Amino acid sequence: MSTEAYEIVKKARSSGRYTGIDFIKGIFNHFFELHGDRRYADDSAVIGGVAYLDNMPVTVIAIEKGHNARERMQRLFGAPNPEGYRKALRLMKQAEKFKRPVICFVDTSGAYCGIGAEERGQGLAIAENLCEMMTLKTPVISVLIGEGGSGGALALSVADRVYMLENAVYSVISPEGCASILWKDSSRAAEAAECLRLTAKDALKLGVIEGIVSESNMDTPEFFSGLKDKLAADIKTLRADRQLLDKRYNRFRAFGRTE
Amino acid sequence: MPILDFLYKPKNELEKGGRAVAPIQADQGEPERTCPNCHKAIPISRIWSNAHTCTCGYHFRMSARQRISFIADKGSFSEMFSDVTSNDPLGFDGYKQKLETVRAASNENEAVICGTASIGGTKCMLFVMEPNFMMGSMGSAVGERITRSFEYATKKKLPVVGYTVSGGARMQEGLISLMQMAKTSGAVKRHSDAGLFYLTVLTDPTTGGVTASFAMEGDIILAEPGATVGFAGARVIEQTTRKTLPKGFQKSEFLLEHGFADALAPRRYQKSLVSMLLKMHCGGDEL
C-alpha cells in the first residue's frame, strides 16, 4: 500500500533530483569552496563557501548527497558528521563578521549515525548550531531541496525564511522509523508518512515554512533564475529589517505557544 | 608497628568506629527490586532511603516528583506553567488516547515539571523531566514549559537547573515537536547572553532531540553515573554501521572521557555539588 505522502517521500529521495551542488551552480557565480571545521576534519557531506548572488557576496552552505553510487558513498549519503555542522557554524560566523547573508540548502536523511559521530559530540554540534543561528546578526535563508531529516536538517534551518521544494519533505523522524517504533512494523511506512504530515503543503499549513518552490519548470533555466530572484528579493527586505533577530526568535517561539 | 597494633585494645566503642548500626529490617512481604547491575534483590524502603541507589552504586531511575523532593530545599518548590499541556496539533492517529492513558498512569499531565525552588539556599528555576510520561519525550508543551522557564528566569535574573531525561522529540507531534528544539535553544541562548547561569544534570536516558538542544547547552554539564546519553540510539547505530559498539558506549563515563560533560554527579553528594555550583555562580559570598 502506498499513500500520496509516501510517494513524495520517494520522490524526495530519488537519485535523479538536483542536489546541493546543482543549486550552487545554477544560482551563484564564482563559488569558492572553503574546507574544514578548524577543529578536527573536513566533512564531505557539507559543502560551504563564498559566492556571488548577482553582485552580492553571500555565504552558501549545502548538504550534498551525490548523484551516483560512488559520489554518494563519498558524501556519506548526505549525512553530516559533527565536523560538517561545525564547518557550517564557522562559515556562518565568518559571514556575520563580513556582513554577508547566509543561504543554506538542506538535503539530508539525518545527521550521521555512527560511533565516531557520537564520540565527537553529534548532539552538541547540532545544539550549538541551533543556539548560534538564533542570534546570528545577518539574514539567514534555508531551502529544503530534498529530505529534511530531523535535527540534522534543523541544524541548518534556523533561518529568517525557510522554503521547501514542492516534492521535498521535512520531518522529525523517517516514516520507516516512526512505523517501527509505533507499530513495530517498518513496512507500514506509507501510513506513517501520512500521519507525520511531512510534505511541503503540510509544513506550510503548520507555518513551519514561508513558501513552496514549484518544481513544474525544473528542467528549464527559469527554475534557478526564479529562485535566485526570490532569494535576492528576500535578502533585500531582511537586510533592511532592524528587528531581524527578534523576528527570528518569535518565528520559532510561535510553535506551540499557548500564551 | 604491626605487633603493637595487634595487641592494642580499643578503650571504648567510638575507637572501634562507633556502635554497629543494625541494618534496616525490611518488613516481611515488602516488595523488592532486583538491581540490574549486581543482581541482588533490595527491599524498596532501602532503595528509597538511599536516594534510589543500590549499595553497588547503581542509580535507579527516579520520577520527576521524587527528584524534586530530593534536590530542592524542603517546601521551597512552587510549580509553574502546569496548565500548559499538549493538544494534538497534527491529529495523529491514536495520540489523544495515548496521552489520556499516560496521564492516568503517571499522574502527571506533561513530561516536564517546572518551577522555582531553592537549592542549598540559592533561589533558582528548576525543571525536571519525567521518565514515566512517554519517556520524557519533547512535544510542544514540554518545549513551551521549558522556554517559558528560561524566559521567566531571564526576566527575574535566576539561574536555571535542569534535569534531563528524554527519548527525544515526540514524533506524534511531528514538525511542531522538531521546532521545539530551535525554540528552547533560542530561549537558552537569551538566558545565557544575559549573563545567567545554567546547569544541566544528564540522567538516564538523555537522547535524541533533547541531547541536540537544551541538554547540551548548559554552562556546566553534570551526568549521573551510568546514564545513557547520546544523539542516535545505540541499537540504530549498531544496525546501520554493522559494528559492535565499544563497552560503555554512550554512558556518562564515555561522555566524560570524550569531553562532553564536566563531572559525574553521584546522588550521594549530588545535592551538595549542585548547591555549591549554584553558590559559586550566583551567591557571591564564600561557601
Considering only A75-84, B6-15, B268-277, which range has the smallest mean pLDDT? B6-15
Angle between helices B174-193 and A122-134 (to 10 degrees): 70
Place of cell 512494523: A185
Amino acid at B113: I
Identify the pLDDT of residue B49.
85
For A:167-186, CB contacts with B below 8 A are 170-173, 178, 181-182
CA closest to B87 among chain A residues: A256
Identify the pLDDT of residue B48.
86
Q: B188 and A131: CB-CB below 8 Å?
A: yes
Output the CA torsion sign for B81, B267, B74, B200. negative
Identify the pLDDT of residue B200.
96
**Using one digit for the tens of pLDDT, what is the confidence trace for B21-50?**
665 566 677 888 898 888 888 888 888 888
Its CATH architecture, for the domain A4-249, is: Alpha-Beta Complex (3.90)
For residue A31, give the C-alpha cell.
Answer: 563559488
For A:238-257, CB contacts with B below 8 A are 249, 252-253, 255-257
Q: Yes or no: say if B225 and A171 are a contact pair by the CB < 8 Å rule.
A: no
Tell me the domains of chain B and their CATH numbers: 25-60 (no CATH), 62-283 (3.90.226.10)
Question: What's the whole-number average pLDDT of chain B?
Answer: 88
Q: What is the mean pLDDT of residues A52-63?
A: 94
Output the CA torsion sign for B143, B146, B150, B152. positive
Burial class (CB in 10 A: 0-12, 13-18, 19+), B103: middle
Identify the pLDDT of residue B284.
66
Question: Strand A46-53 and strand B112-119: pairing?
Answer: unpaired
Query: What does the domain layout of chain A look like in residue ranges?
Result: 4-249
For residue B149, give the C-alpha cell.
Answer: 522557564
Burial class (CB in 10 A: 0-12, 13-18, 19+), B235: exposed
Taking the C-alpha atoms of residue B225 and residue B233, their distance in angstroms, rounded to an integer, is 19
The reported pTM is: 0.89
**Using one digit for the tens of pLDDT, what is the confidence trace for B142-179?**
999 999 999 999 999 999 999 999 998 998 998 999 99
A89 CB within 8 Å of a chain B CB: no
Identify the pLDDT of residue B78.
93
Interface test with B, best of A40, A131, A210 (most B CBs within 10 A): A131
Q: B231 and A171: CB-CB below 8 Å?
A: no
**Using one digit for the tens of pLDDT, what is the confidence trace for B98-143?**
999 999 999 999 999 999 999 999 999 999 999 999 999 999 999 9
**Using one digit for the tens of pLDDT, what is the confidence trace for A168-200?**
999 999 888 888 888 888 788 888 888 888 999
